Amino acid sequence: MPDKFPIQPETLPTKTEFLPMKSDKSPMESDKSPMESDKFPIGMDILPITTEKFPRGTIIKASGAIASEGKLGLVERRLYNLLLAVAYDKIDTQEIHTISLDALKDGLGDKFLHLADIATALENLVSTVVRYNIFEKDKRHWVITSFLSGATIREELHDVAYSFSPELRVLLSVPPYAKLSVERQKTIGSKHSLVLYELLNDYYDAKRGAGETQFMLISELQVLFGTEYESHDFRRYVIEKSLETLASSLEFSVKVAPKKRGRKITHFKFLMKRHTVTEIKIPAPKPSPPPQKDVQTFATLSVGTYYKIAGGDGAVFVKLDSTTARKETSKKVITIQNIHAEIVKL
């Protein structure tokens, strides 16, 4: 980290500091830190004020950018994806893009700490030179360059202004690409898991509900994940551990297929298949049994009780005494020996 880099929020650049300047030297040859540049091709006074809200949905990320050297940490990779999401619609026509600090806070979730940390992450995106398109899924020629060509925090406008190199803008703006979820990346808590999440989605075909990678050399996967784990340890500590943490973030299941040369595992291949949804048939509820009728014998009926003869024609009677009853429709009194009666409540 350069000594001149303003790591305290109160000293973050406002009007004149932007990173970096175009130079005849490559980023690797430059004798000046990207954060030490004192001007930028477009004056700060005409940079656009942030008006766009952060898209709560999809990050469009080029396959070549996904398959880049794993030199970024979790915060830098999340941050870069957010910058891509905001810039994508205008990335091939607009040089400078902006994103509000509120949008960054929302997009980074628990990884948004202090402005000094965001400034450090931006510096890493500007100064880190990487190789893209490791697996050559994109047949175009990708340049070796940094993730961003310039970036600054503008405290007075409460936003971040940033740009991509002209060569990179062309490559980032067209397919092949993967569609990633802003909300899901917020829940992914490790660098390796986020790298694998991007890689698998890059090769997954949502229309078919399936996808697979080619057999990938472990040496190239090590470059992608930024790790030196080999063979069995790579599978155990990088792949399997990442898949375990991604269980709720993927809409498909993943099978890992190894390939050997002799006794040594040299390649891994990933096969994806959409989760099958088991149809559970819920049986129709059984009809409720008819309510039990209050059936008694005539002898057990109380005097004055209205009743119908069970199985009769539905005529209503009232019990007068132990042996007689009156039919309500005709008021005729009849003698009753013993019957089964259904009580009627009038």
pLDDT of residue 323: 84
293-340 pLDDT tens trace: 666 777 888 888 888 887 777 888 888 888 888 888 888 888 876 666
Q: Where do we find the tokens 């350069």?
A: 2
Angle between helices 191-203 and 218-225 (to 10 degrees): 120
User: Is residue 252 located within the same domain as residue 307?
Assistant: no
Angle between helices 74-87 and 115-127 (to 10 degrees): 80
User: Is residue 141 located within the same domain as residue 221?
Assistant: no
Could you tell me if residue 180 is inside a domain? Answer: yes
User: Is residue 73 located within the same domain as residue 148?
Assistant: yes
Q: Which CATH number belongs to the domain containing residue 239 in this structure? A: 1.10.10.10
Max intra-chain CA distance, the chain: 124
Residue type, 162: Y
125-159 pLDDT tens trace: 999 999 999 999 999 999 999 999 999 999 999 99
Could you tell me if residue 49 is inside a domain? Answer: yes
Q: How many residues does the chain have?
A: 346
Domain that holds residue 325: 295-343
224-234 pLDDT tens trace: 999 989 888 99
pLDDT of residue 41: 36
| CA trace torsion 119, 125, 126, 131 (10° rounding) | 170
User: Is residue 261 located within the same domain as residue 338?
Assistant: no
Task: Determine how many CB atoms are found less than 10 A away from the CB of residue 228.
Answer: 8
Could you tell me if residue 338 is inside a domain? Answer: yes
Q: Where do we find the tokens 């503008």?
A: 154
* CA atoms in the 13 A half-sphere facing the CB of 153: 24
Q: Tell whether pTM > 0.75.
A: no
Q: Of 6, 4, 34, which is closest to residue 114 (Cα–Cα)?
A: 6
DSSP string for 176-240? SEEEEEHHHHHH--SHHHHHHHHHHHHHEETTTTEEEPPPEEHHHHHHHHT----HHHHIIIIII
